[in-house]
Chains A and B, each alone.
Chain A
Amino acid sequence: MSGARMSGRDALAVVHRARGPRDVVVTTMATSRDWMTMPQTPLDVIFVPSAMGHATSLGLGLALAQPNRRVVVCNGDGSMLMNLGSLVSISGAHVANLTLIVFDNGVYEVTGAQPTPAPNTVDYAAIARGAGFPAVHAYQDLETWSAEAEQVLSGSGPTFVWLRVDAARGIPGPRSPGPAGDRARALQEALRA
């Protein structure tokens, strides 16, 4: 894909509108920062602090434990590159209820927008297909992504979505919204409901 890209925040807002009321949404790094500007639910996992690149792995565990809920992981391309093997772990686990969305802006946005090792080069859709994802989608214009997001999120997976987005420069990274241990207990309560 080449040409103009959508804004990352606008692309994330589409996820916010399309997610179902029982869906778990995991965000990390820039997507956490932007998600926290939108209305929250108890099933939102703001993965801050995180382990580098491991939002996908956390999402896999949640999807395995909660097979009757959709788990949506909103990842960055820098984070994805840190844990590419997790694509194979996810496809091998056959989690139909997991959707992984990569917001590809070609930079490590929260550290000052330094480029990833090969920006504008990597074909994440091809990687996902090669890793065994049965459902793979790619978008770079907001209109098409908005029109199809609900259907993409509700499809049988594991599903991989590659979104080409602009980098937001000069905006600080996310701050933790509170003690992670307390948030873990709150999430466990919400998932029992």
Chain B
Amino acid sequence: MFTGEEIAGVFDELGITHVVTVPDSTIGQWQGAIEERGRTRLVRVCREGEAWEVAAGLHLGGARPLVLIQCTGLFESGDAIRNVLHDWKLPIFSIIGYRSYLNQDTLPGDTCLVFTEPVLDTWKVDYKLLTKHEQLGEISAHYTACRDAKKPGAILVAEGKA
């Protein structure tokens, strides 16, 4: 839905210093453009729970990080989200790939569609769902609104394949 160049441009505009990430087949395609632009450092971690705590350390140290993972990694991240967002009250922002939202050709009956949004609600994360390319500008708008409110937020990016 979005190109790597578009996303890298958004990160640049927002002053994102580090993107802490585990790839999937959609958001992983953005890595090349982010690295090529050179203003945002990619921090590759092995599992998504790590990403939230790495972002926490970055935020505490004065950087402006963002977590970039798939919704399956969101499910894995529960304890870290609880700790970072709610114990330590750090306003970490994330972009989360929403597997199978646009079609379920690869994974018919994918339960990501059942659990992703309720899980975000449970963790009290203010999220926006983007399903069309025309919504690119909503990433910056939602990030800025969450930053000004000093609260965590997320963008859910609709994906079409696993």
Q: Do A and B bind each other?
A: yes
A187–B50 Cα distance when bound, in Å, is: 21
Known: A50-B83, A52-B79, A180-B87. A188 touches B60 (CB 8 A): yes
User: Which A residue's beta carbon lies closest to that of B81?
Assistant: A51
Chain A residues with CB under 8 A of B84: 51
CA distance A50 to B79 in the complex (A): 9
- With an 8 A cutoff between CB atoms, is B145 at the interface? no
Stretch at the interface among A59-67, A103-111, A121-129: A59-67
Q: Which residues of A contact B90 (CB under 8 A)?
A: 184
The answer to whether A51 and B63 have CB atoms under 8 Å apart is: no
Q: Which residue of B41, B60, B83 contacts A62 across the interface (Cβ within 8 Å)?
A: B60
Q: Is B47 an interface residue (CB 8 A)?
A: yes
Across the interface, do A59 and B62 meet the contact criterion of CB distance under 8 Å?
no
Number of chain A residues whose Cβ lies closer than 8 Å to a Cβ of chain B = 30
| A191 on the B face (CB < 8 A) | yes
- Residues on the A chain within 8 Å of B50, using CB: 54, 57, 83, 85-86, 89
Please provide the chain B residues from 59 to 116 with a CB less than 8 Å away from any CB of chain A in the complex. Answer: 59-63, 65, 79-80, 82-84, 87-90
Interface SS majority for chain A: helix
Q: Is the CB of B61 within 8 A of A66?
A: yes
Q: Is the CB of A54 within 8 A of B44?
A: no
A184 touches B89 (CB 8 A): yes
- Chain B residues contacting A147 (CB-CB under 8 Å) are none
The residue from B44, B55, B87, B88 contacting A89, defined by CB atoms under 8 A apart = B44
In the bound complex, CA of A93 to CA of B21 (Å): 12
Given contacts A180-B89, A184-B60, A188-B62, contact A61 B45 (CB under 8 A): no
Contact (Cβ within 8 A) A64 B63: yes
**B57:A63 contact, CB within 8 angstroms:** yes
Binding site for A on B (CB under 8 A): 18, 20, 41, 43-47, 49-63, 65, 79-80, 82-84, 87-90
